[in-house]
Amino acid sequence: MNTIEIEDRLGITFCNRQAIAIERGEGSYVWDENGDRYLDFTSGWGVTCLGHSHPKITEAIYKQAQKIIQNPNSGFTYSPSRAKLLTILKDLLPAQLEKVYFASSGAEANDAAIKLARKITGKVKIVSTLGSFHGRTFNTLSVSVGRENTEQFLPALLENEFVAFGDVAAMRSAVDDKTAAVIIEPIQGEGGVRIPLASYLSCVAQICRQRGALLIVDEIQTGFGRTGTFFALEQSEPAVAPDILTMGKGIAGGFPLAAFAVTERINARIQKGDHGGTYCGNPLGCAVATAVVSELIQQNLPHRARQFGKTLLGRLAQLKQIHPGKIIDVRGKGLLCALELASDELVQCVTRNCLKQGLLITPTRNSVVRLIPSLLLSESELEEALRILDKSIAAAVGN
């Protein structure tokens, strides 16, 4: 049996898979077992911000693995690798976020943030937004997408409430004195790259302060340069000061790592035993993240993402004019971009056409295709992707 047959026979499949077995990657490209090359405009759900097998990442893994991978009693012992990452993050995080804890995934970071918000405030209700995505754990699933999603798996959590993303009046109505926290993405990723007004996040923060609720900002997909600044909340007007900021994906360029940061006021309410974990910033993960974040800084990749994002959005707007009726909308910030097509069926058709021509894209709910390339994307790679997209949309039948 080949790779695909083995996985189909022995693995649990929770999603529709593409019939492609990826063996290796370099930069913006990956190769399957047959040696066929594909241009990756998914970045592994926005994770491989420096592309595949970046030399700084492989060097960091090699050097740290020769020392130690996992500390004994990891949360109970200190780590020079962790201390180094904490130091570099301190200069990047919003000034009021004083303390950081590391996790293994974005869902785990969000889960901890929700748990701590309830513990600290003594309240239960969490307000989220329709179309949001914060993870697949019990806590995070309960605040993702909407009730039609959560009630497939969970008891009805009547305290939680969903409001339309970008609707300040709806948020003001939902957040009350029983609300522990609002959890929100600066830009909805899984929801279809939905971008609110620049003032939206600051309005939500003000509502939280007025009602005594905490503000949890989920930057798992938008953080670390993806939208043109280190964190998307930096683009809010006026500035936003969250109580808890969650991070993941691009933080370690493909190595499983995440984190959440809190204010000193929140940290003062945290007690020993409130949270923990097996890895909690293990030396290998922290060494990789330090290498990635250092590269983001040294190469000024957030600025690069902003410039390339403008070019990409402009070219996508041209495609919209070329394919009227098939492309409904073009959205994006930095190198987190989306094409909203006429139907989910058209999305699947375009995705298949792109795959046949050597381009990997991310089909998303609500008739959207997400484009999430490496922050080191080159001009020639951008042009190649646009050519394939144009042909794939043109070849797609119907709308």
> Which active-site residues does the annotation give?
133, 218, 249
- Report angle CA 260, 263, 266 to the nearest 5 degrees: 90
* Residues forming beta bridges with residue 103, ordered by sequence position: 258
Residue corresponding to tokens 């004195």: 177
Residue corresponding to tokens 């949309």: 393
Peptide bond into 238 cis (omega under 30): yes
Number of other residues whose CB lies within 10 A of the CB of residue 264: 10
> How far apart, in Å, are the Cα atoms of 280 and each of 75, 76, 79, 89, 248?
6, 10, 11, 16, 13
Of 370, 43, 93, 103, nearest to 223 by C-alpha is 93
- Residue 129 C-beta-side C-alpha neighbours within 13 Å: 31
Residue corresponding to tokens 């250092």: 294
Report the C-alpha gap between 349 and 393 in whole angstroms.
Answer: 8
User: Is 184 in a helix, a strand, or coil?
Assistant: strand
Q: How many angstroms from the chain centroid is the CA of residue 53?
A: 20
Q: Buried (b) or exposed (e) across 247-263, using 16+ Cβ within 10 A?
A: bbbbbbbbbbbbbbbbb
> How far apart, in Å, are the Cα atoms of 36 and each of 28, 190, 216, 356?
14, 29, 43, 11
